[in-house]
Amino acid sequence: MSDETPVKAVQVKLVLLGEAAVGKSSLVLRFCQGDFNENTSPTIGAAFLTQKCRLENRIVKFEIWDTAGQERFHSLAPMYYRNAQAAVVVYDITKAASLEKAKAWVKELQRQANANIVIALVGNKLDLVSESSSTPATVTPAAQETETEGEDGEDDSAEESITPTPATESDDARQVPTAEAEAYAKESGLLFFEASAKTGHNVGEIFTEIAKTIPFDTITPEPATAQTGNRRSAGNHENNNVNLGEGQQAKKGGCC
């Protein structure tokens, strides 16, 4: 909540996509929690979280939209994709089918979203297959992860507890070879990461890399990202969007 920085933040809408239970919400919660103390647990059911990412020359403020479960029956509204400048498409490296789903989401993004959207493909749950085979990769992490699952909550916890990952041979859990996913990402022009929401491994890197990749200089400010019209950053030319909630700013402390 430090206000002293003189650098203006650029706001970026980032959408999450991927099959249920791959850990979309956990990745974001990990990313957003990284910056502040562990106890402020964010509200379950938040529609979007925000988190800042500092680069050398600018601050990028991510407004991160979760699917709120609307991906389950493919009922995500066009509003979801509208003006998204970045997307994180998540799959679970211990479930081959989830990569296929991720590919379908990438296609959907190419159909629905801005042409110049930056897409990162993220294989989550790296902790379950960690090379350092000493990592206990079973019930405990699964339980912890579902704890931080937001909207995906119930569904996920059910699935994850029903299908406990094989314990001893941790690398057996991997169903998606790194090389395969990476090759797909490369040919489709996506950023690629394997990460663990549980340990935090590589999570910050995803967002930093996205922030670096977004072509800010060529982006023309889109009208729809400007709900807070009067307070828009200076880089965007003045538009006359109306802030409906004015006079309603009695906010309790934000989390990020």
Partner 1 sequence: MAELESDHYDVIVIGTGLAESIAAASLAKAGQSVLHLDPNVYYGGEQASLTLDELSSWSNTINQSSSSSASSSSSCHSSSIRYHSSSTTPLTPQLENDRRRYSLSLFPSILPSRGSLIDTLIASDVSKYVSFKLLDSTSIYAEEGVKKVPGSKEEIFKDKSIGLVDKRKLMKFLLFATGEFENDDLLKGKEDQPLSTFLQGTFSIPQQLTESISYAIAHCSSPNDQTLPALQRTRRYLKSIGRYGGSAFLVGQYGGAGEVAQGFCRACAVFGGTYVLGPTAAPTSIETTPDGVLIQIPCHPRPVTASHLVSAPIHLPPSLLTCSNTDTKETTSSNCIAITATLPEALRRRSLSVEEDDEEKPEPENDDTAVIVFPREENAVRAYINGEGTGSCPAGQYIIYLSTAASSPSTSPSAILRPYLQKITNEPTFEAYYVATRPSYDAIKPESTGNLVILEPYIGDYMLTEGLDWEAKQGEKAYYAIMGREGKGFFEKDPTDEEEMGFGEDDL
Enumerate binding residues for partner 1 (CB under 8 A): 1, 3, 5, 8-9, 32, 42-43, 45-52, 59, 61, 63, 68-70, 72-75, 77-80, 82, 111-112, 151, 154-155, 222-224, 226-229, 231, 239-246, 248, 251-252, 254-256
Determine the Cα–Cα distance for residues 52 and 65; give it in Å rounded to an integer.
Answer: 14
| Cβ partners under 8 Å of residue 180, min gap 6 | 99
Distance, C-alpha 240 to centroid of its chain = 30
Amino acid, res. 58: R
Give the nearest distance from C-beta 2 to partner 1 in angstroms.
8
Give the nearest distance from C-beta 135 to partner 1 in angstroms.
32
Give the nearest distance from C-beta 136 to partner 1 in angstroms.
30
| Cβ partners under 8 Å of residue 101, min gap 6 | 18, 19, 91
Closest to partner 1 by CB, 148 or 196: 148
C-beta separation of 137 from 127 below 8 A? yes
Closest to partner 1 by CB, 72 or 186: 72
User: Does residue 53 sit in helix, strand or coil?
Assistant: strand
Closest to partner 1 by CB, 32 or 181: 32
Closest to partner 1 by CB, 62 or 192: 62
- Give me the sign of the Cα torsion angle 70, 75, 80, 86: positive
Starting at the earlier edge strand, list the strands of the sheet with 191-194.
Answer: 48-54, 59-65, 9-18, 86-92, 118-124, 191-194
Give the nearest distance from C-beta 230 to partner 1 in angstroms.
10
Give the nearest distance from C-beta 89 to partner 1 in angstroms.
19
Determine the Cα–Cα distance for residues 186 and 188; give it in Å rounded to an integer.
Answer: 5
Closest to partner 1 by CB, 177 or 245: 245
Give the nearest distance from C-beta 35 to partner 1 in angstroms.
10
Closest to partner 1 by CB, 68 or 191: 68
Closest to partner 1 by CB, 37 or 134: 37
User: Does residue 147 sit in helix, strand or coil?
Assistant: helix
Return the structure tokens found at 218. 């060529």
Return the structure tokens found at 170. 């941790």
Give the nearest distance from C-beta 195 to partner 1 in angstroms.
22
Return the structure tokens found at 127. 């902790």
C-beta separation of 53 from 62 below 8 A? yes
